[in-house]
Amino acid sequence: MPDYRPRKTLFNPELRRRGIYVLPNLLTTAALFAGFFAIVQAVNGKFEVAAVAIFIAMVLDGLDGRVARLTNTQSAFGAEYDSLSDMVSFGAAPALVIYVWALKDLGKLGWIAAFIYCAGAALRLARFNTNIEVVDKRYFQGLPSPAAAALVAGLVWVLIDNEWSGSEAAWYACALTIFAGVSMVTNLRFWSGKAINLRKSVPFMMVVAIALGFALVSSYPPGVLFALFLVYALSGYVLALLDWLNRRKKLQA
């Protein structure tokens, strides 16, 4: 007998009534706009503005998930929308910015390096979506795409601020772009910060430390931000080295 029960399609009134949550998706849209704005500014030759826009997208991306969890407005739509936004803001935008500014002078090697980064971001996001329920929440598997984007954008920002041209920085940009792209698809562990409970009270000195952190960043934003994300990118390799040394000690014991 044929099944005449109503199917869950786009025209199903039940699905149309569900709607979406405004606040977290508004932040995701803002992050998407910042990533698109970075692409536009790179095409127009305003690379410093493009780099700053990527950092703004990173801040907004960090807020949308937090807001969704704090307000209990998580949804499957929001998760998928966030991944698509991340691919634009932290995959396509940094690859285009670094390519137009510096890598195009390297010819074929330049666009290959940019593609390695872009493909690494896509693979990183796909793996994150499929492994979200099985990995240790305390760590990311592979360098997170926002951190990789901040690394690339930070290099552009700090070198432009120090009056470097794209042609002078081409080889440094190529090496860092490939490093960021490969780091995203490794199995290295990177601290996620998800264990931090924003609803829990903290010692007074923690507030002082946060204030000092803001003061440090504001003293020289391009250099401090780039240094922070470079250290974070290297932290996964340091953790892997420490794990290898611990395993070696246990085998020798």
CATH classification of the domain holding 162 = 1.20.120.1760
47 within a domain of the structure (yes/no): yes
DSSP single-letter state for residue 127: H
More confident residue, 228 or 252: 228
| Structural domain total, the chain | 1
pLDDT in tens, 79-131: 888 999 999 999 999 999 999 999 998 999 999 999 999 999 999 999 888 87
204-219 vs 221-252: helix axis angle to the nearest 10? 120
pLDDT of residue 68: 76
10 within a domain of the structure (yes/no): no
Domain assignment of residue 232, given as a range: 17-252
Longest dimension (CA), the chain: 75
Burial pattern 148-176, b for ≥16 Cβ within 10 A else e, equals bbbbbbbbbbbbbeeebebeebbeebbeb
Closest Cα partner for 92 from 168, 40, 46? 40
pLDDT of residue 205: 77
Mean pLDDT of the chain: 86
31 HSE (CA, 13 A, CB side): 29
pLDDT of residue 73: 77
5 within a domain of the structure (yes/no): no
More confident residue, 136 or 119: 119
pLDDT of residue 179: 97
